[in-house]
Structure 1
Amino acid sequence: MRHGKPAFSKSARVSCREMADWIAQYDRSDTGGDMPSEASRLLASSALNIISSPLPRALSSLNALGRKPDLIDDVFREAGLPIFHLPGIKLSPTLWAAFFRIMWLCGFSRNAEPLGIAKQRAVQAADILVTSAKLSKGPVLLMGHGVMNRLIAKQLIALGWKACRQQGHGYWNANIYKSG
């Protein structure tokens, strides 16, 4: 499941240099008063084991669901964004984030974890989820992040797991995978 909407949403135009501070504030942000849907609550209530990213937006999302993590691991944190300095340009943080993510996907990872390393983390994360599902003999909920959740999903599929329900990648959305 992807976390709820972060409370920090400052959207004024910023320069590249200001974007680095914006990202840091976003990473420190929890979800404030953003509440999950009833479907998200129901799904979370069925989990026998809860795993989470350590970022505040993930942990506060679990709190909003009335759940506590059994495991918090940095391997599940979101893949960072590289920052490129383009002087004189001010854009919305959403546009900068999209631009930086595209650059990252194209292999440019200046001051950020490279895509290849994030994929290695996704392999570790998938292994943790599979082991957790085997040990708990039931549903496991991962409270994570958009890009990292997608990378982990690819690894689960590579391990033979099947996607049986996909809601999308928006806030509070969850995709369900079952062992093959």
Structure 2
Amino acid sequence: MRAMVERQVPDHGSGCPGEADLRLLDQWNTLQSGFRRLTDELLADVDRQAGIAPSEFQVLWYLLTSTTEQSAPMNQLAATLNFTTAGTTKVADRLSEAGLITRQPSPTDRRVVLAALTEKGQEVAMAAALALAAALRERVVAPMGPDAFAALADRMRELDPNPPRPCR
């Protein structure tokens, strides 16, 4: 059930939002800046523990969790992860050189290039996922408590009911 949010008409003479809107905007700023900073810290922990840069982890995690074949078209990776085409290619080049993914033409459409996890890529992705889980426990679950963390995740799921699921 969604609560009604109080809305205050701004004072057009000053051009500023009213108090209710200022509170709402402050709450949003707290959420988005906190999530961004926390995400940066968590991904830095993954990099330190597993040696995987944040953009590389995002690609490996997507391939591991979002597809049953553990492969995806390069353009789908770019669109889903909000990477540029060139940025996706650079990350894929690094992952391919490290032996973590392969790139091959699609068997059904030769214009499409598929990125797929290798066995080594699966192992590295799982190690990085375990490093992320440990960092989450330390940085988020321990300070908040498991019930508060679960409640926060449940509330966020109301806004995004179909997020990618790990290892499914």
Q: TM-score range by the shorter chain?
A: under 0.3
**TM-score between both structures, scaled by the size of structure 2:** 0.27
- Between structures 1 and 2, the one with greater helix share: 2
**TM-score between both structures, scaled by the size of structure 1:** 0.26
- Rg larger in 1 or in 2? 2
